[in-house]
A and B are shown apart, each in its own frame.
Chain A
Amino acid sequence: MSEILGEILQVGFFAAILRIATPLILATIGEMFSERGGVLNLGIEGIMLLGSMTGFTAAYYSGSLWLGILAAMAVGALMALLMGLLTVTLGLSQHVSGIGTTLLCTGLAFFFYRLIFGQPSLPPNVEGFQVAPIPLLAEIPLIGPLLFNQFTLVYLALLLVPAAAFLLNHTSWGLSLRAVGENPRAADGAGVSVAKMRYQGLMLSGMLMGAAGAYLSMAQFNAFTFGVISGRGWVCIALVVFGQWSPWKCLAGALLFGFVDALQLRLQASGVIEIPYQFFLMLPFVLTIVAMALVSRSAIPPAALLVPFRKEER
């Protein structure tokens, strides 16, 4: 037992939680924006994968990691536009549209990766993001190495949370987005374009999902593999429910998941507990379901989530 505690109580472990949680924070906040506007974006898993592939490829050929991030965000926005066309303009089932978008994005990511890189014996890789310590702050004992000696994207993800909370709760844009997610008829009556707000929420979500995917292939693994996302997108859907559609609670959920994931990685590596490593891989998914069962009864989704809005119908 003390061995396990020894593994856990290290600054490096807490720093790892933040690194693992970063893509989840980005994608979960993205999904939250989309859902607050009334659209469940189940394209998330595929958009993250396509973002991961696009970002990696752009960085590989341009030599610029940030250009890779931008490319991933652009392709994420493009796929969110498709989601918008299907669910907002055409009012189709958000469930099936999302699964369709994920299947399409997954197929495109595999197709173009094979087309561009072929089947090399060694997968191509990029020199990924390096940690960017913040001067002075990084020197603070304990907190410094934990919070201020990370990738720039980790800082940005952490800053995204208060920014998202402010945008959602203290700006007229946020008010409009929440209005079309709760009562689109009333919002429409007040002169807010329901379609426009939903498209904007979706595209913001797509950009953040693309960036989340790119983080995985350019900061965490520094290469693209077909299994790079392996369910992380679906976990983010659960985290939004767990976070009750609030940015700060979503952050808490992502950190909790990061903790479990970091823990299983440590336990796997330490060999303290001798059980097959697949059980550790399974653990975050099991806990996500348990967490959802605990909160789902009290979680109140946006009232108009999943409901298409047609202006002419009363």
Chain B
Amino acid sequence: MIQLRLETRQHTPAWLRLALPLFAILATLVVCGGLVTLAGASVLEAYSKLLLSAVSSKFNFVETLVKAAPIAFTGLAVAVAFRAKFWNIGAEGQLLAGAMAAAFIGGRGALPGWSLVPLMLFSGMAAGAAWALIPAWLKTRYKVDDVVTTLLLNFIMFYLMMALVDGPWKDPLSGYPDSPDIRMDAEFPILLGGTRLHLGVVLAFVAAPLIWFLMRRTTAGFNIRAVGESATAARYAGINIPVVIVGTAALSGALAGLAGVGEVGGIHFQVMAGLSPGYGYTGIVIATLALLNPLGVLPAAFFFAVIITGAEAMSRATGVPVFLADVFQGVALISMLIAILFTQYRVRLRR
């Protein structure tokens, strides 16, 4: 009788690290194809819209890059945090914190115009980091589970934002609960005329290699990875674990905060309810598909930007509900988790 057996791998070949995400995406396309058929549409037609509308014109391509920026930042935020096994499911709330700080600073009349953009970036990072410090502090000081607190803090930040934009911070010129627009000087520079390709997109592309360098080539990065690999070994090596956790949380929160700054400075120029359609959670999917490698976050973020923008076009053309994009993210995360098993184990046939 032939038996399937899992054997532990000594090391993971490099080609496998590239093949696994592709395999996971392929599996996801197959599963979601079933749903497309169930919705009564042709898989070929729906998928050509889903996957190709993002690259069908120069404008659409740039729009996809713009969509990729916030989820690249939240993906980086999650990748950094998960390395230290700090389960930051709170990028969503940290993004909103960053966005609110940017919208607040961007609307100050007393500040000189040239200082607005740098101050927005700085305050957005600080706000995101501060919001992430709460669960880190609760985890290190009171042993409160970080998953639960980061999740609950997302809801608290959202309601806080809505309370403000529906109350003292409401735009007097608007009938909707949203904040006043930021000043013209605070709007991010546009890099390509006639598009929305703004400074934040470039920052995302610069941040990824920087974070890669930090994680791979510096002591701080080494400490973060050591704490995640084995807390016991890290302790014996003399690493101050609470300090590393708090630092990781601050870095992660700052990155998620930048996602919010970009959305305010480059796209919406204000904060309102629909600012983030779950970008924080998409960051988890992206970081996992990138195997927590900051450089891998960029292509993963671009791919999910393709799916998110493509789903709209697919829905208009074929009637398949736009929420296929949400199912896609869930299936992709689960497929990738299963695929990652092959980095640790190899399947052997045994007679």
Contacts and interface: CB of A to CB of B under 8 A. Distances in A.
Interface string B29-72: 00000010011000000000000000000000000000000000
Contact of A234 (B151, B323, B338): B151
Interface stretch (B158-166, B235-243, B298-306): B158-166
Interface string B130-146: 00000000100011110
Interface residues of B, number: 46
Nearest to A114: B321
A236 to B, nearest CB: 10
A96 B166 contact: no
Nearest to B338: A90
Q: Interface residue tally of chain A, by bracket?
A: 35 or more
B323 A111 contact: yes
Nearest to B281: A103
B54 to A, nearest CB: 20
Contacts of B153: 285, 289
Dominant SS at the A interface?
helix
Contacts of B328: 107
Contacts of B321: 110-111, 114-115
Interface in B111-148: 138, 142-145, 147-148
B244 interface: no
B334 A100 contact: yes
A292 interface: yes
B334 A104 contact: yes
B323 A238 contact: no
A173 to B, nearest CB: 27
A295 to B, nearest CB: 9
Given A104-B331, A115-B39, A278-B162, A110 B152 contact: no
A292 B35 contact: no
A111 B324 contact: yes
Given A107-B326, A108-B327, A296-B145, A97 B160 contact: no
B284 A99 contact: yes
B167 interface: yes
Nearest to A40: B147
B104 interface: no
Contacts of A231: 151-152, 155
A92 B337 contact: yes
A288 B330 CA distance: 27
A186 interface: no
Given A96-B337, A234-B152, 16 more contacts: A82-B334, A90-B338, A92-B341, A93-B337, A100-B330, A103-B285, A104-B334, A107-B326, A107-B328, A107-B329, A231-B155, A276-B162, A276-B163, A285-B153, A288-B152, A296-B143
Interface of B: 35, 38-39, 87, 89, 138, 142-145, 147-149, 151-153, 155-156, 159-160, 162-164, 166-167, 281, 284-285, 288, 321-331, 333-334, 337-338, 340-341
